[in-house]
Amino acid sequence: MKEQEIFNQVMQHIARFLNQRGYSQFAKPKVLAPAEYRPVTTFRKPHGNNYGVINFQKKSDCSGWFTINIGVSSAVLDKNTAELRKSLYGPSDPSVITTPLGTKKPSINDCDWKTRINRAHLYLQEWWPIMSDTSVEALIQAIQTCLEEEGIPKIENLLTDEQLKHYYLACRLSGEPHDIQTLERLSILLKASNETERLAPVLHRLETQFIGNPVNRTAQALLNMLRTKTPEEFQVPEKTELTKGKALQPQPIQKRRTETEEEPAPSKKPKPTPQSEAEPAETSSLRHKP
């Protein structure tokens, strides 16, 4: 059996496994040719305004190797980092997000926290091999075990803004060196939750650590945002959810009809109804974060 055929079979089983745990696909599999099938490889779990993301990434050289990326996307961080980029580079810069907040399903590259999980818990063994003689059943079992024991728990422990904030605070208290992005995310979450006392030492670090540094311009723009905007301006309104993954829109605008909804009764002068749009394909674009 070819490596791609094995990967396709594995992904079909993993999709069902993840669906049962709240992770869904938001795109359809690609069929590039009659005999060429490409499964969806990104799965997302919504939690309020945030998303947990699991992504299966194949090597770019078309070999049988793949890796498993996991991440968390925060709407508060997405909103404020987008505003920071806009103040630095202007609205036309590719790094500035122009999609309305809450309408885009994040890719793994959009995640504010992300990592890879190791196969068999081996150090630096992040890439999984698929050979022509690989056992499909054994590979499925190994992936499910890895996700169940490591991948999903890591996401669940960081899925809320409160959990992310404590994670970044723990990094700061451990004495680890901080890059500008870590301090940026921590300061935004502290400002949004109006924790002035905890925010003060972070502001001091931004003022002292990056003076004369190449990223000083980013630090200055961030400090300006933190000092001039109120905590409410950093916050994002919570979604109103009835069921998992389905949001209630109080004032829907051009709401797309779902498959379960009935066709509306025709008017006196019926007009031809265009076919509904196809589901968007999985995107591979990157969001730049300096």
Query: How much of the chain is helix, strand and coil, in % rounded to 5?
Result: 40, 15, 45
- Tokens 């509904």 belong to residue: 276
pLDDT truncated to tens, each residue of the chain (290 aa)? 688 888 999 999 999 999 999 999 866 555 555 446 677 899 999 999 999 999 999 887 767 889 999 999 999 999 999 899 888 887 766 655 555 555 578 999 999 999 998 765 554 568 888 888 889 999 999 999 999 999 999 999 999 999 999 999 888 765 555 678 889 999 999 999 999 999 999 898 888 877 666 668 888 899 999 999 999 999 998 764 433 444 333 333 344 444 444 444 544 544 444 443 333 333 333 344 43
Cβ-based burial of 239 (10 A; exposed 0-12, middle 13-18, buried ≥19): middle
- Which tokens hold the place of 150? 């490591």
Q: Are 64 and 7 in contact (CB under 8 A)?
A: yes
Q: Are 221 and 87 in contact (CB under 8 A)?
A: yes
- Tokens 């680890």 belong to residue: 176
Q: Which helix (H) or strand (E) holds 188?
A: helix 180-192
157 in helix, strand or coil?
coil
Nearest one of 124, 87, 120 to 226, comparing CA atoms: 87
- Tokens 């394909």 belong to residue: 281
Who contacts 59 (Cβ-Cβ below 8 Å, separation ≥6)?
A: 65, 66, 127
- Sign of the alpha-carbon torsion through 188, 190, 191, 196: negative
Q: Are 115 and 72 in contact (CB under 8 A)?
A: no
Domain boundaries, the chain: 3-73+112-156, 161-234
Helices 216-228, 75-89: axis angle to 10 degrees equals: 120
CA atoms of 203 and 115, how far apart (whole Å): 27
Q: Are 282 and 27 in contact (CB under 8 A)?
A: yes
CA atoms of 218 and 85, how far apart (whole Å): 9
Q: Are 105 and 60 in contact (CB under 8 A)?
A: no
Predicted TM-score of the model (pTM):
0.74
Q: What is the pLDDT of residue 253?
A: 35
Q: Are 104 and 49 in contact (CB under 8 A)?
A: no
Q: Are 142 and 120 in contact (CB under 8 A)?
A: yes
CA atoms of 158 and 167, how far apart (whole Å): 8
Neighbours of 287 (CB within 10 A): 17
The amino acid that residue 88 corresponds to is: L
